[in-house]
Amino acid sequence: MNKTTPLKSLYSFAAVAQTGSMSAAADMLNVSHSAVSQSIKSLEEYLGIELFQRVNRTVVLNAKGRRYYKQISPALEQISKATQSLMDKGQSHRLTLNMINSLAMHWWIPRVDRFNQFSDKLDVRLSNLPGRFSLEQEGVDIALIHDSAQEWQDYYCEKLGSDELVMVASPDIVPDNATIEDLLHQFPAISVTNDRRKNDWNIWCNAQRLPIPNFGHNLSFVATIQALQATIRQLGVCITHKIFIKDYVAQGFLMEIGEPVPNPYQDFYFVCPPDQLNNEFVLLLRSWIKAEFAN
């Protein structure tokens, strides 16, 4: 019986052949340099021949190594494709979608019923990672981003819609024909202090050519949901993102005051690794998200 060929060593051999470097191969395989070096040594001992010429810190395939790589690389590629195909068939309908908590609360959850009616094929799992991160390392298939596109240049990034800031208040406290200046004079300002929202009042006031107001006592909150609940309870007026308050306005809990102001620093984007655009389920979810933003 033939001895079993060490597949682990073959993948290390192929990685070094492709990159010409033990270190680069280690990075490709996400293992240590010594692990790659030991795999190559084991393979050469197993075959009884040397496969590389070693010159200083570089490694180059010798004649036997080139011939061996040419013979085995199609088989390794076939193994990789067959494995990926099996994984895709079993898991591609299950997608991890990332969005910040505010979008999950105010945009995704109100639309879950509509999404379920749109497709019974997809199983979407939410994650709420903030800021810039690696989709691949975090196991995220798609990210719905409220950010600048410059932060996501390594990915496919498609604009979904523009961000707008708007003043809101409970309709029960807004007098007829009241102006923005009247409301700011009559009611305290409610603010959100996290890094993503702390400049909302500044941006809005600059666009309206109004002075930044003094914020109400005990009316500064870390989360948007807290500030909106305080506004609904008639504790003051708030500047927030229009996309977050559509349902509250439709249900009569809040009303928009004046015209919305474009936010020059953030918009909404669909983000995914470029190769995910070959996944029919990613494209299906993308089409639904785009349609929702278009409405």
CA geometry: angle 217, 163, 175, nearest 5 deg: 50
CB-based contact 102:145 (threshold 8 Å): no
The pLDDT assigned to 89 comes to: 53
Res 1: pLDDT: 39
Q: How far is the C-alpha of 55 from the C-alpha of 131, rounded, in Å?
A: 44
What pLDDT score does 278 carry?
86
Q: How far apart are CA 135 and CA 143, in angstroms?
A: 8
Q: How far apart are CA 179 and CA 89, in angstroms?
A: 58
Q: How far apart are CA 23 and CA 2, in angstroms?
A: 32
**Would you write out the chain's pLDDT as a tens digit for each of its 295 residues?**
356 778 888 988 998 888 888 888 888 888 888 888 898 999 999 999 999 888 776 788 899 999 999 999 888 888 877 776 666 554 457 899 999 999 999 999 999 999 999 988 888 999 999 888 899 989 899 999 998 888 898 899 999 999 999 999 999 999 888 889 989 999 999 999 998 899 999 999 999 999 988 887 889 999 999 999 999 999 999 999 999 999 999 999 999 999 999 999 999 999 999 988 888 899 999 999 999 998 8
| Interatomic CA distance for residues 167 and 165, integer angstroms | 7
Beta bridge partners of 54: 59
pTM: 0.66
Alpha-carbon span 95 to 282, nearest angstrom: 8
Look at residue 91 in the predicted model and tell me its pLDDT.
47
Contact assessment for residue 257 and residue 166, using Cβ atoms and an 8 Å cutoff:
yes
pLDDT at 180: 92
Residue 238 structure tokens: 């708030």
